[in-house]
Structure 1
Amino acid sequence: MLAENRAVLLSGPDVGPLEQEYVLAALRSGWIAPAGPDLDLFEREIADRTGVPHAVAVTSGTAALHLALLGVGAGPGDVVVVPTLTFVATANAVVYTGATPVFADCDPATGNLDPGLLDELLGELSAEGTPVRAVLTVDLYGSCADYERILPICERYGVPVVEDAAESLGATRGSRAAGSFGRAAALSFNGNKIMTTSGGGMLLTRDGDLAVRARYLAGQARLPVEHYEHSEIGYNYRLSNVLAALGRAQLLRLDEMIEKRRRVRDVYAKVFAHVDGVTLPGGDDPAANCWLTAVVADPGRTGWHVRDLAAHLAAGGVETRPIFKPMHLQPVFAGARTALSGAAEHLFRNGLVLPSGSALTDSEVQRVHDAIAEFVEDHR
């Protein structure tokens, strides 16, 4: 296998001269603290991009989820339905409110929440009289969940949707943008996301009162008086003006970065096109932002396991990662209530996430391609 000195990363940050220009301008402006014109503009520009009227910039996608759940009233004694196939932050935000996560399985073809299982679960919880405060959806790896089915189900049971769009900024479903489907939504600008502010996130909502409440809680719940006055617990969640400036520059390049990731997905789709037993979850979604591309291999048909492919790539300095370990298998959530089909466990045990970042050079993409082609040929 051809090896190079530099490791090929899964999804490294993609920043350059434009980002440097915006951050330097923010520093020179004197607006260093968590307030300033770039912060206001960043919120407005993200709101415009997603078609949602209210946006609140915060320190992380997790903070945005926490505030969104508080905004729909989640608290002790409540249940929130959460996809089991997700990053732990989705479930952690539920616990922050005092509510209890109940985990539901995924569609095996996409990894997103299974609408049929959701319908059954909400029916069971309703019949028991269990208060369901929200359904948390996750747009896994940049492909929007099946909102055409999920939203009517939730509406029938009178349960609001909170959209974890941490991975899907720039994706669409139908005529709507990711982040626009729920009563509230959360974006993430972590260092490995589709665009980054180093760390950061955004709460989106059409509910003006929810946005006002979130902004207030994110600023330590300080009351509008001359001295520091607080009548309830708040949080130190506001994004800084300097990081917002970085986000504004990234947003200008978002479409370009998405297009690069889509080209990387196409490379993987072609190299595996004639390999029996290999699929790309959500790979037929043309509106996905392709934040990360995963492959799932059935070892009974391929003759090899994804762990074998991961080891082969690692030997050449190529980073990979298993698909998320389901929440119901995590020790911290042992004993949680679940509605399972086995789909999430299958994806975890047989799935592998490949380098997908827009910062990948053409030679790095070719290097990964050649390593995969070599592996496939050796195991034909």
Structure 2
Amino acid sequence: MTSSKIWLSSPHMGGNEQKFIKEAFEANWVAPLGPNVNGLENDLEKYLGSQVSVGALSSGTAAIHLGLILLGVKTGDEVLCQSMTFSASANPILYQGAIPVFIDSEKETWNLCPIALEEAIIDRIAKGKKPKIIIAVHLYGVPYKIDEVRVVADKYNIPILEDSAEALGSSYKGQRCGTFGDIGVLSFNGNKIITTSGGGAIVTKTKSLKDKAVFYATQSRDNAPHYQHSEIGYNYRMSNICAGIGRGQMEVLDDHVGLRRKMHNFYVDLFKTIHGVTVFSVPNNDYFANYWLSAITIDSQLTNGIDREILRLAFENANIETRPLWKPMHLQPVFEKYPYYGNNVAETLFEKGLCLPSGSNLTANERERIAEVVRTIFV
């Protein structure tokens, strides 16, 4: 008998989602507006603090796209983007007809390298094109080097679009991720720390900027009794039904963060005696990670030849989902022609790294199945 699938990161319902959905159906609010949309935005604003305004959208990708628009990115502009990330961080650059310029990672947080970032800015300016914005990502819920990246951004007066799609619940020096950039982005995709089935949010410093984002997200409809449009718009608003799921999920967000962190600690303990395997962890106590996905790197020279693929395939044979780290954007066929700055940190991480099952709903039996695979491989 085949054991049931253990997923990398599956949705985890809290129980109250049905209440908010039922209220939406009873009131016939089955549209991209309504009390759940407003309620979710208010819940997120209270959670994030820092006096931000939040607009609920159809996806995190939509939020990145609108963030680019709000920050003035136009055709031909250059956008500096972390290479070690999911493609959704970079795709909207091309939506705008802009040019991505990819930046390597640093070894501590696996995120945007401040040194390579400044090198890229200096070189692009020397080539006659000052970059328009910086897209920085909190990879797998671990905050990027926020202070160092901000120093570089401010030195050259370049705004930051903070991709916090993987980092709701993470913080740096006590401040929530999603609130550090000039504009922030959240994702509620089905595999995220909490979900709205599909969905995301844009985080702005002012209500007027949030209102502008919502205007674009609702087809840029002018204030007129008829349908009138003076600007290009998009169908990016979150539905009241999806927002209802999100309101129920917000009630268990901190619990889910705690459970993800517990999974991270499980892996730290599991691999502590295995030479050559390192569990990705925050560099110091300034960083608080939700550990959306727990990840490891494997040095096969220290593990008697056992590498990432050997372990991945062993998990696959046990019906356990794992996944290599994000393949860097500058190595992707669709992006390989664009400029890249840095060394080979991101490339090496991709070659050696593996994401492990991290869901907040994993059971003790499932953890034992995971541990058994590891014990079998690293005998």
Which one-letter code corresponds to 1:11 in the other structure? S
Which one-letter code corresponds to 1:71 in the other structure? L
Structure 1 distance, partners of 2:342, 2:249, is 38
Is 329-338 or 204-213 further displaced after alignment? 204-213
Task: State the match for 1:225 in structure 2.
Answer: 224
Paired residues of 1:190 and 1:201 also in contact (CA < 8 A): yes
Task: State the match for 2:64 in structure 1.
Answer: 65
* Aligned partner of residue 131 in structure 1, secondary structure: coil
Task: State the match for 1:210 in structure 2.
Answer: 209
User: CA shift at 1:4, angstroms?
Assistant: 5.6
Choose between structure 1 and 2: higher helix proportion.
1
User: CA shift at 1:25, angstroms?
Assistant: 2.1
Matched, 1:79 2:81: no
Structure 1 distance, partners of 2:206, 2:131, is 20
Task: State the match for 1:39 in structure 2.
Answer: 37
Paired residues of 1:111 and 1:282 also in contact (CA < 8 A): no
User: CA shift at 1:265, angstroms?
Assistant: 0.7
Task: State the match for 2:6 in structure 1.
Answer: 8
Q: Percent identity?
A: 38
Task: State the match for 1:373 in structure 2.
Answer: 375
User: CA shift at 1:141, angstroms?
Assistant: 0.2
Task: State the match for 1:134 in structure 2.
Answer: 133
Paired residues of 2:8 and 2:356 also in contact (CA < 8 A): yes
Structure 2 counterparts to residues 319-334 of structure 1, below 5 A: 319-334=321-336
Per-residue displacement from partner, 1:42-76 (whole Å, max 9, x unpaired)? 11111111124211110000000000111000111
Task: State the match for 2:170 in structure 1.
Answer: 171
Per-residue displacement from partner, 1:257-291 (whole Å, max 9, x unpaired)? 11111111111111111222211223556610010
Task: State the match for 1:106 in structure 2.
Answer: 105
Structure 2 distance, partners of 1:295, 1:63, is 30
User: CA shift at 1:375, angstroms?
Assistant: 1.6
Task: State the match for 2:179 in structure 1.
Answer: 180
User: CA shift at 1:108, angstroms?
Assistant: 2.1
Task: State the match for 2:301 in structure 1.
Answer: 300
Per-residue displacement from partner, 1:144-185 (whole Å, max 9, x unpaired)? 111111001100000000000000001000021000000101
Q: 5+ residue gaps in structure 2?
A: none
Structural RMSD (CA): 1.3
Per-residue displacement from partner, 1:331-353 (whole Å, max 9, x unpaired)? 10121100021001101111110
TM-score, scaled to structure 1: 0.96
Identify the match of residue 337 of structure 2 among 335, 357, 360.
335
* Aligned partner of residue 301 in structure 1, secondary structure: coil
* Aligned partner of residue 250 in structure 1, secondary structure: helix
Per-residue displacement from partner, 1:3-40 (whole Å, max 9, x unpaired)? 86210000000014222222222222221111111111
Identify the match of residue 345 of structure 1 among 337, 344, 347.
347
Matched, 1:287 2:285: no
Task: State the match for 1:273 in structure 2.
Answer: 272
Paired residues of 1:77 and 1:131 also in contact (CA < 8 A): no
Structure 1 distance, partners of 2:144, 2:207, is 25
Task: State the match for 1:317 in structure 2.
Answer: 319
Structure 2 distance, partners of 1:130, 1:338, is 15
Q: 5+ residue gaps in structure 1?
A: none
* Aligned partner of residue 186 in structure 1, secondary structure: strand
Which one-letter code corresponds to 1:30 in the other structure? N
Paired residues of 2:186 and 2:202 also in contact (CA < 8 A): yes
Is 147-156 or 282-291 further displaced after alignment? 282-291
Matched, 1:162 2:148: no
TM-score, scaled to structure 2: 0.96
Paired residues of 1:59 and 1:200 also in contact (CA < 8 A): yes
Structure 2 distance, partners of 1:55, 1:283, is 27
Structure 1 distance, partners of 2:340, 2:283, is 29
Matched, 1:123 2:125: no
